[in-house]
Structure 1
């Protein structure tokens, strides 16, 4: 099987899978329609991008439609960015301001109007035949890679902020989703870097190597998308937990200082800390797996801002870790009780407020240096 036939086969498989998954996302019943629509649109744009070998079989001459198909690649990474925003923040809505993300596509299309879109067929042929020296294509080539780099930086920055906001305000298990999404974006970044190399080779004397890389990219892209969708569909509640109106504690402190507002005094901190500890020991709110800092603040009648400063800044401990410390202490009490040796680790983690075995094991090892199973075995051996 030669290179061209293999490329066509891989393209057909990739197109079919992307279109099928996009159709599923659009038609499936869910309350998170915006996120599904955005990722479906991303898949459709990806399908349009990889369709080049098939498109060239059907239309073997330069055309406005073919060039437009190429420039639509400028929409891929912005749509992915908006998708990440939509799954990080529970109150995300598409607004007119998001049309700003179309600017690179508009610029890329505009520069092609004078010497491609607005000229006759013969001029189009001449433009494509001399594409390596055409300043418009060189400009667009540089623009799309600058765009990809900037948007990927924006995605990583967004995920870093979202994760920190989660740690400062929530105590559930969704923190794992940000770690996983960070890994997915890292894989996507590597893929885009490979595509960058492919595009550089495409405009060089090594175009055949570029075609082989394209086959590898198509297969990798197909695998990555299927892997991501499988994860997201199996765990639909991993995301969409953060209110975008929340502020990082570092920003709150900066605002307090710039506005000359008084941060609570040591005496006020001690009073609030005493109230907080009594509440945690007596009411055991940490047993609630979805506990938030807003819930605690309402229960002990301390402003959320002050409570956040107390835990996340004064105690130098994220709310997430603060709550997990109590959960782990409760789990250790159960594990140390010889009469409860028949209680499984799974039963214990649910009883103390966790709802994920991986989160429980990670938190337990962070606080004790051992996994729950190993900790129990050591205790049993000490009794013998």
Structure 2
């Protein structure tokens, strides 16, 4: 009885914190309102799911509502998937076609219709009491696992593409969006593994282990939700989306290679463009702008953005991100070697050369020199 009371207490706290986070996401001022609303809906459904640890006492006379509550978990991962899209792509909008993500939820509820929703009172009660052994529940659990696997893989693929596009088109060294989403998805994967283990224990005789598994799942849910709250409160404007119409160089390249130029003429043109680009970078120093994008640089040197992307990412074999940061690091090295600028702090130098984060500057500097800025200055 003590374990159950402890579990109920954790569940109440987890539900309260989830709803608190939902309220914060719905009311905080941010440019990306759609992402926050989707994430808020995700946490509202999470609260509904976690309420299962204690809500049965209140819904014992409303079994239809209790079964329906179970099935709402099939809407959580679609919401998280849409949330990731909304965060990664600044031009993402919800469309009618996205209702396709509700199909598993609808199918499961239709499966429960004949033997539960349309059943008489006694038959309904009997079904509910022995629901663990019903084919409907087996189907429900299998569908949950298949759906979860599908969406978790889809999210990781979205993040992989997002990171590649970001590196090819942006120079802001902050990768907080990618890190945050990757961490969150990894945490969800680990948490769901615990939930899947708990579900398997349901079909064994290890009742004590099942109760402790519930306690563990509730505790993890509470911890994760508190982590989200702290993250959201510290970084209400955390995310910067990219344009979904941007293409990776590998997707552009086959079309570019079909041009009708003679190969030697094309090579001469590429060499001339590389020289022009390097000369412009050295003379005009556009890399000093911390928010420089490949589109802005293409406009400045009057080269189509697709051609510039292929030039840097393919012919020069560098990500745009690395190409620009190399100039920033080179300028920082020159400043650090200049004895007359010894009074400048590392923080002042990183801002002067186009960085906006000390950790990002140190990481990039060490990548190119194998030394920290301080070690380089002292050497």
Report the TM-score, using the length of structure 2 for normalisation.
0.95
2:160 maps to which residue?
Answer: 160
**Mapped contact 1:174–1:239 kept (Cα < 8 A):** no
**Mapped contact 1:171–1:320 kept (Cα < 8 A):** yes
**Mapped contact 1:90–1:240 kept (Cα < 8 A):** yes
Secondary structure, counterpart of 2:281 in structure 1: helix
Residue 133 of structure 1 deviates from its aligned partner by 2.7
1:75 maps to which residue?
Answer: 75
The separation in 2 between residues aligned to 1:207 and 1:21, in whole angstroms, is 33
Secondary structure, counterpart of 1:241 in structure 2: coil
2:347 maps to which residue?
Answer: 346
2:10 maps to which residue?
Answer: 10
Q: Which runs of 4+ in 1 moved over 3 A?
A: 254-257, 260-264
The separation in 2 between residues aligned to 1:112 and 1:254, in whole angstroms, is 50
Deviates more, 1:196-205 or 1:359-368: 196-205
Equivalence map 1:160-239=2 (5 Å): 160-239=160-239
Residue 362 of structure 1 deviates from its aligned partner by 0.7
- Any idea what the Cα deviations from partners look like across 1:256-305, whole Å, max 9, x if unmatched? 46xx4458821111111111001100110000000000011011111111
Confirm or deny that 1:299 pairs with 2:285: no
The separation in 1 between residues aligned to 2:210 and 2:232, in whole angstroms, is 32
2:247 maps to which residue?
Answer: 247
Residue 373 of structure 1 deviates from its aligned partner by 1.5
1:121 maps to which residue?
Answer: 121
**Mapped contact 1:11–1:50 kept (Cα < 8 A):** yes
Residue 8 of structure 1 deviates from its aligned partner by 0.9
The separation in 2 between residues aligned to 1:313 and 1:208, in whole angstroms, is 59
**Mapped contact 1:170–1:293 kept (Cα < 8 A):** yes
Equivalence map 1:251-290=2 (5 Å): 251-256=251-256, 260-262=258-260, 265-290=266-291
Secondary structure, counterpart of 1:112 in structure 2: helix
The separation in 1 between residues aligned to 2:83 and 2:159, in whole angstroms, is 12
Report the TM-score, using the length of structure 1 for normalisation.
0.94
Residue 330 to residue 16, structure 1, CA distance change in 2 (3 Å)? same
**Mapped contact 1:164–1:248 kept (Cα < 8 A):** yes
1:328 maps to which residue?
Answer: 329
**Mapped contact 1:167–1:175 kept (Cα < 8 A):** no
Residue 25 of structure 1 deviates from its aligned partner by 1.4
Aligned length: 376
The separation in 2 between residues aligned to 1:23 and 1:81, in whole angstroms, is 20
The separation in 1 between residues aligned to 2:240 and 2:190, in whole angstroms, is 26
Residue 127 of structure 1 deviates from its aligned partner by 1.3
Confirm or deny that 1:63 pairs with 2:63: yes
The separation in 2 between residues aligned to 1:232 and 1:314, in whole angstroms, is 41
- Root-mean-square deviation (Å): 1.6
Residue 40 to residue 12, structure 1, CA distance change in 2 (3 Å)? same
Residue 61 to residue 138, structure 1, CA distance change in 2 (3 Å)? farther
Residue 344 to residue 172, structure 1, CA distance change in 2 (3 Å)? same
Residue 229 to residue 269, structure 1, CA distance change in 2 (3 Å)? farther
**Mapped contact 2:167–2:321 kept (Cα < 8 A):** yes
**Mapped contact 1:311–1:317 kept (Cα < 8 A):** yes
The separation in 2 between residues aligned to 1:98 and 1:302, in whole angstroms, is 37
Equivalence map 1:137-156=2 (5 Å): 137-156=137-156
**Mapped contact 1:86–1:240 kept (Cα < 8 A):** no
Residue 293 to residue 197, structure 1, CA distance change in 2 (3 Å)? same
**Mapped contact 2:115–2:127 kept (Cα < 8 A):** yes
**Mapped contact 1:62–1:128 kept (Cα < 8 A):** no
The separation in 2 between residues aligned to 1:149 and 1:255, in whole angstroms, is 34
The separation in 2 between residues aligned to 1:323 and 1:329, in whole angstroms, is 10
Residue 209 of structure 1 deviates from its aligned partner by 1.6
The separation in 2 between residues aligned to 1:136 and 1:271, in whole angstroms, is 67
Residue 316 of structure 1 deviates from its aligned partner by 1.1
**Mapped contact 1:176–1:359 kept (Cα < 8 A):** no
Residue 62 of structure 1 deviates from its aligned partner by 6.5
Structure 2: 5+ residue stretches without partners? none
Residue 333 of structure 1 deviates from its aligned partner by 0.5
